Amino acid sequence: MKNHKKIRVALISGLAFAMVSLAPISATASVTEEKVSLTEYVSEKPGFTTAYLLEGVAKTKIKTSKTQPGTKVGSSTTSKRAVKGKKVIITDVTTEIGAKNTTVTTRVSTLTRKKLDESADNKPQQGVTKTSIKIGTTQPITGVAAIAGQGLYAGVKLAVDEVNAKGGINGRLIEFISLDDTFDVPRNVANMRRLVEQEKVYAILSPAGSQALPASWNLIKEKRVPVWGPVSPADAKIEPLFILGPSRTEQLRKGIDWHAKNGCTKLALIGQPNELGAEGKKAVELQLKVHKSMKLVASEEVAVRSQEITNAVLKIRDAGAQCAVMATDNVQVALVLKKIQELGLNIKVASDNGAGGTGGTNMVRLAGAAADGFVGGLQVNLPTDLSSTGVKAWRTLADKSTLPQATNNFSLQTYTYSKSFFKALGRLGDNLNWNRLYQLLETEKVNNLGAAPNITCGPLPTGRSCAKGAALAQYNATTSTWTIVSPFGPPEGD
């Protein structure tokens, strides 16, 4: 191609490119008057954030004799600030009747497009279209925690399917995106990021990973994507995060109460050297103040994912422990129970629902007969308690489902959480803006019909821990059943 031809092509394409990229800036906003109020405007076009108000004032002088107060002034008033020809909204008319003249002041507003800073209240709602709401989650569906992960997934899916079968929420169907993080921390972090930034979900329901989720709190806080009912990190006290179950600390405290009730005075703690272990230590610290006759005789560590628990067990034995609480994973609980049985020790063990798999099989399956008498914390009701309406409703759906692990305790948990979210969403109406959602959730009281303790969320800093009180269930290895031994309620001293 000859040189000048090349230049021409370059110029034209450059120009075209510039026009295309600048075009959105010059477009005008479309305004639908009935939906718009003064302080909010939701843009229909993605990519640009919303407008702000441009106030204009028009004053018209009319000869007094001809005017009645309250007379509507024509809508063609313009003012210095309002742009000519632009559609305006009349926001206020005041009439001042004077002796000679009546001044009618009309306030109008026009809306122009302007790029706002990101933290403005009127961000376009990501994840919501006229016909769908996008929900996402990341769970360990495969990998070492697959039994739990599949249950967690099944619960959300059951809730989503149930809602969609009834036509969705106010006409919008739920689009459910589920990612598998195989219980790997970096994968979980990447998944959360992907849900927020690439999939642009409206909310994240019950993501799992007490260790990995904290990595995403900065992102969540910045982007304000609601995270409802995660399993089960500590409460980070940020706006979008709603913790729906009693914390690990709370459950372990109840476990210690149970030990105290059964006459134990020498307590041992076995924990991992991380967040889990820290929650265990906190539980011990708080409850020992209540149970003055109890002493902590041993505090042992087991490494994350390690199967070497023999040392820890031997040391608590040597310290004379009569009972123990564990802040570890379910495999380690099972191994410790087995070792205790093997050594013929009489040490009673309690743990939380994550490690104990309370209500389900993922821990007791590994421990076998050694799990007899083990006491585990509960965040939701037992999946076998059909006397509760909530549990029964879930069970009906779960029994029909072909999803693996649909009937385990984790499924009940996430089903209950998701359902409460959809209930709240239904009350929002058509405008699902996050500001409105957070306002609603802060006052929402959800009755879980016995499937779990009722949830009451509230404003920061403490309001995001929405559930108070844990329950305890004990396992009977002969009948392979769990029975509640301490109903939902706060630990002693609260």
Partner 1 sequence: MASAETTVNIPEWVSHPRRPRRATVTRLALLAMMLVLPWFLGGYYIYIVSLVLVYTLSTLGMNVMVGWTGQIGLAVAGFFGLGAYTTSILHERGLPWIVALLAVGVFAAATGFVDGYPAVRLFGFFLAIASLAFGDLILRVIIEADGLTGGGGGYPVQLLDFWGFDREIALYYLCLLAIVGFMVLVGRVLDGRLGRTMRAVNNIQIVAPSLGIAPPKYKLIAFMISGSIAAIAGAIFAQLLTYLNPDMFKTSLLITMLVMLIVGGVGSIWGSFAGAVFVVFVQEWLQAFAVYQRIVFGISLMLCIGLLPGGLASLGGRVRERTSKRRERSTGIEQI
Partner 2 sequence: MIQQILSGLEAGSWYAMLAVSIVIVMKATDVPNFAQAQIGMPGSYIAVNLIGKGWHAIPAMLIGLAVGYIIGAIIERIAIRPLSSLSHFPMLVMTIGLTYALVSFVTITFGSEPRSFPAPWTEGGWFFGDLYVPYSQVITILLGIALALILTYFFRTTWGVRMRAISENPGVARLLGINSGVVSSLAWGLGAAISTLAMMLHTQATLLADSSADPLILKAFVASVLGSFTSLSGAFIGGLAIGILENLTGVWIGTGWKEAAALVVVVVYLFVRMPSLAKTIKPREV
Residue type, 327: A
Residue 312 binds which entry of partner 2, partner 1, none, CB below 5-8 Å type-dependent: partner 2
Report what 278 binds from partner 1, partner 2, none; CB cut-off 5-8 Å by kind. Answer: partner 1
Q: Which of 78, 101, 103, 182 is the binder for partner 1 (CB under 8 A)?
A: 182
Residue 457 interacts with partner 2 (CB under 8 A): yes or no: no
Choices 214-222, 284-292, 328-336, 469-477; region in contact with partner 1 by CB under 8 A:
214-222
| 100-159 binders of partner 1 (CB under 8 A) | 142-143
**Binder of partner 1 out of 40, 235, 239, 275 (CB under 8 A):** 275
What is the closest distance, in whole angstroms, from the C-beta atom of residue 216 to partner 1 in the complex?
8
Residue 189 touches partner 1, criterion: CB under 8 A? yes
Task: Candidates 3, 32, 76, 198: give the one binding partner 1 (CB under 8 A).
Answer: 198
CB 431 within 8 A of CB 173: no
Contacts of 11 by beta carbon, 8 Å cutoff, 6+ apart: none
- CB under 5 to 8 A by kind: which of partner 1, partner 2, none does 368 bind? partner 2
Q: Which two tokens stand for residue 252?
A: 């372990």
Candidates 195-203, 331-339, 413-421, 453-461; binding stretch for partner 2 (CB under 8 A): 331-339
| Whole-Å CA distances, 297 to 67, 168, 302, 318, 437 | 90, 55, 17, 10, 48
Of the candidate spans 77-85, 269-277, 321-329, 473-481, the one that interacts with partner 1 by CB under 8 A turns out to be 269-277
Our CB check for partner 1 shows the closer of 277 and 376 to be 277
Cα(276)–Cα(354) distance, integer angstroms: 10
Strand pairing class (101-112; 52-63):
antiparallel
Give which of 468, 437, 379, 430 is closest to 155, Cα–Cα.
Answer: 379
Give me the phi and psi of 102, to 5 degrees please. -110, 130
Return the ∠ at Cα 494 (arms to 264 and 298), rounded to 5°. 35
Binding piece for partner 1, criterion CB under 8 A, among 61-69, 150-158, 176-184, 251-259: 176-184
Residue type, 121: D
For partner 1, which is the closer residue by CB, 277 or 359?
A: 277
Q: Is 247 in the site for partner 1 (CB under 8 A)?
A: no
Judged by CB under 8 A, the stretch of 97-105, 118-126, 335-343, 391-399 that binds partner 2 is 335-343
Q: What sign has the CA pseudo-torsion 406, 408, 411, 416?
A: positive
Distances (CA, A) of 133 to 36, 87, 463: 22, 32, 26
User: Which of 91, 122, 274, 401 lies at the binding interface for partner 1 (CB under 8 A)?
Assistant: 274
Quick one: which segment of 8-16, 22-30, 34-42, 327-335 binds partner 2 (CB under 8 A)?
A: 327-335
What is the rounded CA–CA span in Å between residue 314 and residue 247?
Answer: 29
Query: How far does CA 264 lie from the centroid of its chain?
Result: 38
339's enclosing H/E stretch is helix 330-342
CA nearest neighbour of 249 among 289, 287, 280: 280
Distance CA 463, CA 457 (A): 5
Residue 300 near partner 2 by CB under 8 A: yes
344 binds, among partner 2, partner 1, none (CB under 5 to 8 A by kind): partner 2
Q: What residues make contact with partner 2 under the rule CB under 8 A?
A: 142-144, 146-147, 273, 300-303, 305-308, 310-312, 314-315, 331, 334-335, 342-344, 366, 368
